[in-house]
Amino acid sequence: MASINVAIVGTGFQAQYHAAAYAKLPEVELVACCDLVEDARNAFGRRFGCTPYASLTEMLQQRRDLDAISVVTPGALHYSNVMEILASPTPPKAILCEKPPALSIAEIEQMGSTAAAAGVTLAFAFFLAQDPSLRWLCANSDELLGPVYRASIIWRRSGGIPARPSLLAASAVGGAVLDLLGHLVTPLLMLLEAAKPAWVVANLYHAIGAQGGTEGKLDPALIQVEDAGDGRFLVLHAAGACLANFVIEWDAYIPHDMLSIEFEGDKGGATLELDHASSSLVPQLYRVVKVDGMALRLVTTLTQPAVTLDGLHDVEIAQLVRAVTTGQGVPHLVNAELAANVMRIVLGAYESDKLGDTRLL
């Protein structure tokens, strides 16, 4: 099989997951990387056996053999990086851009339309979209859930507390809610087939505590961004309306991350809860029955093939490579339309918080 040449833009923390996932695919060779920081790119090049370049421009000029590129720079650069790649004389067949997709809806739409015109698969890295139980639920939701009218998605993180400059500085990424809320919104919008949201009302908390997290001290003097938030969001879909509640928060005092996804439909409900032993989402279906005036939940735990949360990054990369080998976009990946609607909610949360009121989208 012909080798698929891939490259990575930005060689920081998250890039190592992309490189490790590519390394698991025998048909793939990671041939190039670039980073503005010399030590970072050289160390990455040595570790993963690829040629380091000093900038994206230099890499694109010198490598005309790239089939896929991962963009793993800070969020404020995603738009310009992706547009530069798409404008190169020999663009790759597929691009995986880390979240947040960009800092405005107009940018995401332009990235999507430019990629479509160039025949390039452009995917955005929202790894929960790859969960097999969630995908199965989405495929069968008409039959299992009927029209979904309520959703609740809560992620309490014990670690990964924002500490690196790229997460703290609004100019670099835009804050913790921009960094993570999109992960929670994606499963619901997948279920609602990329429905456009109608309004958002959100509270963002500006301080989360005084103890350290896993990625540095939780110093309130440093944590001046939107550290955590909760909000209500009305998402319209074909069959009516779905009211969704999302909570994203950091909590230094819980022993494990807690992630809980719940959908309630006319026919029944479903939950996906993070199990710590397997580090994967466990799906359950339920129906509400009335017995002697009491509402009881009849619960069925499903045995879907589980993938750990970390393993979902590997699935995402494997899907991207599949897009290259088949020459077709892969529906499993988050495309620009879905990404734009996800970000309407995320960006709407900031606007609602600033307004202190509901934000119509």
Ligand X SMILES: NC(=O)c1ccc[n+]([C@@H]2O[C@H](COP(=O)([O-])OP(=O)(O)OC[C@H]3O[C@@H](n4cnc5c(N)ncnc54)[C@H](O)[C@@H]3O)[C@@H](O)[C@H]2O)c1
Site of interaction with ligand X (CB under 6 A): 9-15, 34-37, 40, 55-56, 72-75, 77, 98-99, 125, 127, 164, 166, 179
Rounded to 5 degrees, φ, ψ at 168 are: -90, -40
- The total of other beta-carbon atoms located within 10 Å of residue 290's CB is 8
Q: Are 158 and 252 in contact (CB under 8 A)?
A: yes
Shortest distance, position 10 Cβ to ligand X, whole Å? 3
Nearer to ligand X, 56 or 200 (CB): 56
Nearer to ligand X, 181 or 242 (CB): 181
Shortest distance, position 333 Cβ to ligand X, whole Å? 13
Beta pairing, strands 240-250 & 148-157: parallel
Nearer to ligand X, 48 or 141 (CB): 48
Q: What is the distance in angstroms between the CA of the first residue and the CA of the last residue of the chain? A: 47
Residue nearest to ligand X (CB): 12
- Pairwise CA distance, residues 51 & 67, whole Å: 15
Radius of gyration in angstroms for the set of CA atoms belonging to the chain, rounded to a whole number: 21
Nearer to ligand X, 237 or 250 (CB): 250
In this structure, what token pair is assigned to residue 53? 């370049």
Give Cα separations from 191 to 236, 242, 287 (angstroms).
12, 11, 18
Rounded to 5 degrees, φ, ψ at 272 are: -130, 115
Shortest distance, position 264 Cβ to ligand X, whole Å? 27
Q: Are 68 and 4 in contact (CB under 8 A)?
A: yes
Shortest distance, position 169 Cβ to ligand X, whole Å? 10
Nearer to ligand X, 227 or 264 (CB): 227
Nearer to ligand X, 166 or 245 (CB): 166
**Where would I find the H helices in the chain?**
15-23, 38-48, 56-62, 78-87, 105-118, 132-139, 141-144, 165-168, 176-191, 309-326, 336-355
Nearer to ligand X, 34 or 50 (CB): 34
- The total of other beta-carbon atoms located within 10 Å of residue 221's CB is 6
Give Cα separations from 249 to 61, 110, 205, 258 (angstroms).
42, 31, 9, 10
Q: Are 36 and 328 in contact (CB under 8 A)?
A: no
- The DSSP-derived string for 267-332 is S-EEEEEEETTTTEEEEEEEEEEEETTEEEEEEEE--PPP--HHHHHHHHHHHHHHHHHHSS--TT
Shortest distance, position 356 Cβ to ligand X, whole Å? 27
Shortest distance, position 324 Cβ to ligand X, whole Å? 20
Nearer to ligand X, 5 or 11 (CB): 11
DSSP 3-state assignment of 116? helix
Shortest distance, position 61 Cβ to ligand X, whole Å? 14
Shortest distance, position 283 Cβ to ligand X, whole Å? 21
Shortest distance, position 190 Cβ to ligand X, whole Å? 16
Shortest distance, position 98 Cβ to ligand X, whole Å? 4
Give Cα separations from 275 to 142, 143, 187 (angstroms).
26, 26, 18
Nearer to ligand X, 9 or 333 (CB): 9
Nearer to ligand X, 218 or 242 (CB): 218
